[in-house]
Amino acid sequence: MASFLCYCGSGKAFISCCDPLICGVAFAQTPEQLMRSRYSAYCHHDKNPQCYDYILQTYHSKVRPEHSQSDIADFAKAVRFIRLKILDDASLTTNQVHFVATYLVGDKLEVLDEVSDFELEQGHWMYCSGVLIKHPSMKLSRNDVCPCGSGVKFKKCQHPLQACN
């Protein structure tokens, strides 16, 4: 597989960033790493169906029953994540991550702005839940420059990976 920059925006190659976590050969050392890998799993799902199970299994067991692989797959297939930003708020605890993920649903640009809570379970970081900060969705017209950063018009954009940072 060709080496490409990780979806999560770390600047590292996917194969040495989030991929080993998704494949279960390494574990997240911090809540932020887990959050990044779950984001990357949503981006990479069409190339590795293991991504759905990874997202499910990295929910804390106390909330996992509220989720299912099919719900996760439906969401992953309906959206196109284009950017992740991790915010370093002074108010966060060591169990929290504030992130802003931008994604497309059809011709709408949505922003998922969330302060997430994580907990250790049997020595591994798990995602529990998050508090959302609401943003209005933005409708894109076909001639707008795509918000993914490619510089290409929305109607023609393929959202190249290297533009996803």
Q: How far is the CB of 159 from Zn ion (least distance, A)?
A: 4
| Closer residue to Zn ion in complex, CB, 10/126 | 10
Q: How far is the CB of 88 from Zn ion (least distance, A)?
A: 17
Q: How far is the CB of 11 from Zn ion (least distance, A)?
A: 9
| Closer residue to Zn ion in complex, CB, 4/131 | 4
Residue with tokens 């069409």: 46
Q: Three-state SS for 50?
A: helix
In this structure, which amino acid lies at residue 142?
R
| Closer residue to Zn ion in complex, CB, 51/157 | 157
Q: How far is the CB of 49 from Zn ion (least distance, A)?
A: 19
| Closer residue to Zn ion in complex, CB, 38/159 | 159
| Closer residue to Zn ion in complex, CB, 10/102 | 10
Give the interface with Zn ion as residue ranges (CB under 5 A): 6, 8, 10, 17-18, 36, 40, 146, 148, 150, 157, 159
Distance separating alpha carbons of residues 156 and 148, to the nearest angstrom: 12
For 25-58, give one letter per residue: b (16+ CB within 10 A) or e. Answer: eeebeebbbbbbbbbbbbbbbeeeeebbebbbeb
- Sequence-separated contacts (24+) of 86-94 with Cβ below 8 Å: 86/32, 86/35, 86/36, 89/115, 94/31
Distance separating alpha carbons of residues 62 and 35, to the nearest angstrom: 18
Q: How far is the CB of 18 from Zn ion (least distance, A)?
A: 3
